[in-house]
Structure 1
Amino acid sequence: MRTGPFPACRTLLCGFVLLASLSACGRKSPGAHVYGPHCGICHHGGGGMPGETPPLVGRLDIIAQTPEGRTYLANVLLYGLEGPFKTQGYSYRYSMPGFASQLSDHDIAVTLNWLIDQGETKPAPHITDAEVAAARTHIGTPTSTYKLRATLDQTHPLP
């Protein structure tokens, strides 16, 4: 039988590994932290509410596959969206506020990417801080975002 510090070191090492594993379980991604208080109240976990609030998960990854789609998504978070549309068989008469004055380009990008990563598209297309910054230079409104949506839907049908 061995004596000395080795059994104690092994026990201590196992304890540190367990502690590190447990602390990692409770961590949220930066996107999830931003999403919760700004988006989660209406969109819930990203699944929305049929006929009331459109789902995000399973749609944003498809929309973000084109540069135009990424610009549209950035505009939705920056300037909001207002107007009727249909998705996944449900009609929405939607009014969403913009967050241009509350969220940084980075906050918007990580939030969108967190939602995009939950979709089925692999590898998932990501939105960069620079793409959000570029969208921010063209001041918009919820109505202009709605018009952008209609144009995008003609060239790249939206899910």
Structure 2
Amino acid sequence: MAGGPQTFASRCSMCHQPSGAGLPGQFPRLSGRVSEIAGSPDGRRYLTMVLLYGLYGPITVDDKKIAGLMPGMGTMSDQDVADVLNHAVAFKKAAKPAPPFTAAEIAKVRAGGKLTASQVAAERGRLAAKGLIR
């Protein structure tokens, strides 16, 4: 995970803040949320999809509506994506820690085919309806 903090700092911290706290109403908090979402296979797949393909559309995080766009980071290597996700999980671990993300896990999601940011938002809605994302 040596590259995770550096990649997060250069690619993610401008919006999500160095601590993962986000900016309420503008950019969602990652601290504590990523580790919870990473606790299920569907959640892990979703987190990978967000990094690879981005997210577009309104979402609600911490009872605050956010309308925006997260650009996809699909140009990053599978290892870099795994490292960034592992770094985000480490902000605040869930009660039941998820296993670390691996480059092979990211490659499997990538091999499933490219999605639009709107398709990723639709997947978020499906998982939110199941209670896996809040």
Name the TM-score, length of structure 1 as normaliser.
0.78
Paired residues for 1:15-94 under 5 Å:
29-45=2-18, 46-94=20-68
Conservation of the 8 A alpha-carbon contact between 2:43 and 2:132: no
Instruction: Show the counterpart of 1:157.
Output: 132
Moved over 3 A (4+): none
Q: How many percent identity over aligned positions?
A: 34
Unaligned runs of 5+ in 2: none
2: CA distance between counterparts of 1:128 and 1:122? 21
Q: Distance in 1 between matches of 2:114 and 2:81?
A: 16
Q: Once the 2 structures are TM-superposed, how far is the Cα of residue 124 of structure 1 from its aligned partner? A: 2.4
- Asked if 2 retains the 8 angstrom alpha-carbon contact of 1:72 and 1:148, the reply is yes
The answer for unaligned runs of 5 or more in structure 1 is 1-27
Report whether the alignment pairs 1:130 with 2:104.
yes
Aligned length: 131
Q: Which structure's CA Rg is the greater one?
A: 1
With CA pairs under 8 Å and 6+ residues apart, which has the higher RCO, 1 or 2? 2
Equivalent pair of 2:57/2:118 in contact (CA under 8 Å)? yes
Tell me the residue number matched to 1:104: 77
Work out whether residues 21 and 30 of structure 2, in 8 Å CA contact, stay in contact via their aligned partners in 1: yes
2:113 is the alignment partner of 1:141: no
Measure, in 1, the Cα distance between the counterparts of 2:106 and 2:46: 10
Distance 1:117 1:48 in 2: 15
TM-score, scaled to structure 2:
0.91
Q: Secondary structure at the match of 1:52?
A: coil
Query: Would you tell me which structure has more helix in proportion to its own residues?
Result: 1
